[in-house]
Amino acid sequence: MLFRQKLRNFSQGSTPPSPVAHFFGMLLSGALGLSILALWISAASVYVDPRIFKWAALLGLLFPLFLLGTFILWIIGLLFVPRKTWLLGLLGLLFCSGSIRNYVAIHPFSETQETTAQPNKIKVLSYNTLYFGRMLEQQDELVRYLINQQADIICFQEGELFPDKVKKFRKQFARTSTPYYSCNDNTGECVGIISAYPIMKEKLISSFPGNAVMAYHLQHPRGEFIVVNCHFRSNQLTTSNLNGYSNLIHGKSSSEQASDPNIARTLASKIANASIERAKMVDDVEEYLAQYKELPVILCGDFNDTPISYTRQQVARMGLTDAFREAGHGFGFSFRRSAIRVRIDHIFCSPTFQPIQAKIDETATYSDHQPISATLLWRNDSK
């Protein structure tokens, strides 16, 4: 009877905790509160124009760390001091659920859709190819890979610049279901498209040396639509920068390298400055698409920015749907190098299209990126 009474008192919260338990509960609640606040600030950073405050771009990069910290502290609270933390942690995560879904696509009950070519389906593939696989000496393998994907539209960034090789590629794709090949290398960067649909018009929307955004007006049986291929401003990180970051993460040091604070400062400065230039390029895209509001749009490419970023937020703000968020699974890391694991390649579409499948192909090893693909259903109520 005594034991039952104690258990009842504890469940009803009438038994006062020991000083140690009280202190632990207060400490955990405080840590969880700070972690939630940091998570919210990181999520809100996507609304801050980097031209006003460039360091906001760094807060978005920390989102997964704040999310992981919040989740771990919440679980510890549930196990040990549930009366103190379960509601705080739950509300903190719920209020940030939209940003969490942007970062981690969760569709536990969805089934893989059949992607067989049909008149109302368009398969889009976007790939930063690292000079069409030349840097890894896999150009022939990459071409075979792209053909085997049976995509209707292939948008590539960092394509091949050598005219003789481009001529060879044109001939190879001319014999496939995607015979229309176009690339623009006027900015020192080759951004291009390989399409099953005729290219009616193409336009350079925005550029910086080594980066460019191209628009292609394609003729589909249902009508004209626009494909925007983006290679937004790179962070200009050198191999030395990436190696320094990797050593910093893994706790390694070298007498030949700069100090840890200098590594972190250099990385932060480059990322923040590049975010300003990406903001300019996004504005150029929005201005261009505003001239063609009546046309369906597919926008894809290497954003050089994560799902928690001003760049991604501004693209979504144009009324475009993130295909991976709607039809993908998991984190979908499209860039894995030197301890960096992020999704910086994206596919968006206007409401004319419904994403029914999206994925990152982690088996493709022809570049330092992985390709992202999406199958879009052209809705029946559209023209």
**DSSP of 224-242, one letter per residue?**
EEEEEEEEPPP----HHHH
pLDDT digits (tens, 9 = 90+) for 193-222: 999 999 999 999 999 999 999 999 999 999
Angstrom distances, CA of residue 291 to CA of 205, 226, 284, 287, 288: 12, 12, 12, 7, 6
Question: Contact, 306 vs 86, CB < 8 A?
Answer: no
Share of the chain above pLDDT 90, in %: 67
For residues 292-297, average pLDDT? 97
Strand 121-128 versus strand 153-157 pairing type: parallel
Asked if residue 250 has pLDDT above 50, the reply is no
Mean pLDDT of the chain: 87
Tokens of 362: 């982690």
pLDDT digits (tens, 9 = 90+) for 35-53: 999 999 999 999 999 999 9
- Reported as a pLDDT band with limits 50, 70 and 90, residue 15 is low
pLDDT band of residue 170 (cuts 50, 70, 90) is: very high
Q: Is the pTM of this model over 0.95?
A: no
Tokens 């191209």 -> residue:
214
Output the pLDDT for position 11. Answer: 42
Identify the band that residue 118 occupies on the pLDDT scale cut at 50, 70 and 90: low
Higher-confidence position of 146 and 244: 146
Mean pLDDT of 97-112: 83
Give strand ranges (E) for 71-172: 121-128, 153-157
Between 382 and 323, the higher pLDDT residue: 323
Residue, of 148 and 86, whose pLDDT is higher: 148
User: Which of 86-100, 102-116, 320-334 comes out lowest in average pLDDT?
Assistant: 102-116
Q: What is the pLDDT of residue 159?
A: 93
pLDDT range class, residue 89, cuts 50, 70, 90? confident
Q: What is the pLDDT of residue 275?
A: 96
